[in-house]
Amino acid sequence: MLRMDAAIAWRRGALQCGAAALLFGITTPLASQLTDEMNAPSLAGLLYVGAAIAVAPTLRRPRDAGSIRHRGGIRLTVAVVAGGFLGPLLLVAGLARTAAATASLLLNLELVATTLIAAAFFREHIGRRIAMGTLLVVGAGMALGWSEAPSLRVGVLFILAACLCWGIDNCVTADLGRVAPHEITAAKGLVAGATNLGLGVLLAGSFPAFGAVVAALILGAFGYGASITLWVTGARRLGAARAQLVFSAAPFVGALTAWVLLDEAATTTQAVALVVAACGALLVVGSDHEHPHEHAPAEHEHEHEHDDHHRHGHETHVARHAHPHQHEPLVHAHPHVPDLHHRHEHAADDARPADG
C-alpha cells in the first residue's frame, strides 16, 4: 500500500511540475514582447502582482501577512528576495537584450543551480538517473545556446544570475513545510512584486500604459501565480532537484512558443536538442531509492493523505487535504525521493535503489 501511495504521489508531483513548466515556458517569450513597453522593474513587478492576484481567492482571512511571515521565517524571506524580487528583475533585464528563444533555452541553467544547491546544502540524494538526466538536459541547452552564440552578451549574464536566484528559491521553497504553496506565491507577489513595480514607476517617472499593464498582469497570473503554486506543491512530493528536472521542460516550451507564435527561425540543432532534453527529463521517472531511514518529530502544513507518514485522526473521513499537523518519530524502509518528509543524510552504501 505504501509503495502504491508513494508512486501515485510522485506521479502527481511530476504532473504538477510539468503543468508549471508549460505555463512558465509559454509566459517567458510572451513577456519579452512587453520589454519595449516598460522598464525591467515595472514588468517584473507586474508579473508578480498578477501572481498574487491569481492566488488571492485561495487565501484564508485568519492567516494574515504577519502569520505567514512568522511561519515562513528566514526561508520565506530568502524565497521572496531571491525568487520574487531578484530573479524576475534579472530575467526581464535579460529578455530586453536577448532573443526570446535563446533566453528561454538559457533557463536550463536553473536546473544546474537547483540540483547543485539541493545536493550541497539541502541533503537531497542525487543518484545516477538524476545526474545523467541533468547532464542530458544541460548538454542540450548548452548546444542550443552555442548555436546562437549568446555567451558574451550582457543579457546572457542577467539570465544566468536569474537562474542562480531561482535555484536558491527552488531549494528553499521545496523545504518550506509550514507555509502553503499559494501563500508563498502571495508573499512573493505582494512584497517583491509591489517593490519592483514601485521601483520601476519611480525610475520611469510614470505608470506603464494600461494595455501593457493588463497584459503583464494576465501573464503573471498564469505564468507565475499558477505556475509557482503548482511547482511548490509538486516539489514537496518530488524534492527540489527532481521537481526542477521535470520543470526543465519550460525552456523548450518557451523556445517552441517563440518559433510558432513569434516567428523566430528554428534549426535542426534545436530540434535534436529537444529530443535529448526530453530523454533527460524522462530519467526522473523511477528515480526513487530505498533504505531504512528515520523520521524525526516535526510539525508543518502541506497537502497530504493518511498513510504511514500521516497517522493523525479526524472526526470524519477526508481525502487529500491540508492542515497543520504533527509527525511522531518513525523508522521504516520504503522507496522514496527527497520530498518534504525525506531530507535525511545518505551514507556511501545507503541508497539501494531504483536509481543507484
Nearest-angstrom CA–CA distance, 323 and 307: 15
* 348 C-beta neighbours (distance < 10 Å), count: 5
Q: Write the CB contacts of 9 (distance below 8 Å, at least 6 apart in sequence).
A: 237, 339
CA pseudo-torsion sign 183, 188, 193, 195 = positive
Per the model's pLDDT, the better-predicted residue between 148 and 194 turns out to be 194
> What secondary structure letter does DSSP report for 58?
G
Measured distance CA(23)–CA(91) in Å, rounded: 16
pLDDT range class, residue 352, cuts 50, 70, 90: very low
Q: Which of 15-24, 127-136, 203-212, 344-353 has the lowest mean pLDDT?
A: 344-353
Q: Strand (E) positions, 296-347?
A: 298-304, 321-327, 330-336
Cell of 101: 528563444
Distances (CA, A) of 345 to 79, 177, 288: 24, 19, 15
pLDDT at 294 over 90: no
Distance CA 355, CA 4 (A): 18
Residue 293 phi/psi, 5-degree rounding, is -145, 160
> Domain map of the chain by residue range?
2-288
316 Rama class: left (phi>0) / alpha (psi -120 to 50) / beta: beta
From 241, 301, 179, 236, select the one nearest 10 (Cα to Cα): 236
Most distant CA pair in the chain: distance in Å? 62
Cα distances (angstroms) measured from residue 171 to each of 76, 181, 182, 327:
11, 14, 17, 22
pTM above 0.75, yes or no: no
Q: Give residue 22's pLDDT.
A: 94
Give the pLDDT confidence of 34-89 residue by residue, as tens digits: 999 999 999 999 999 999 999 888 776 545 556 766 776 888 899 999 999 999 99
Query: For the residues 275-299, what does the mean pLDDT come to?
Result: 65
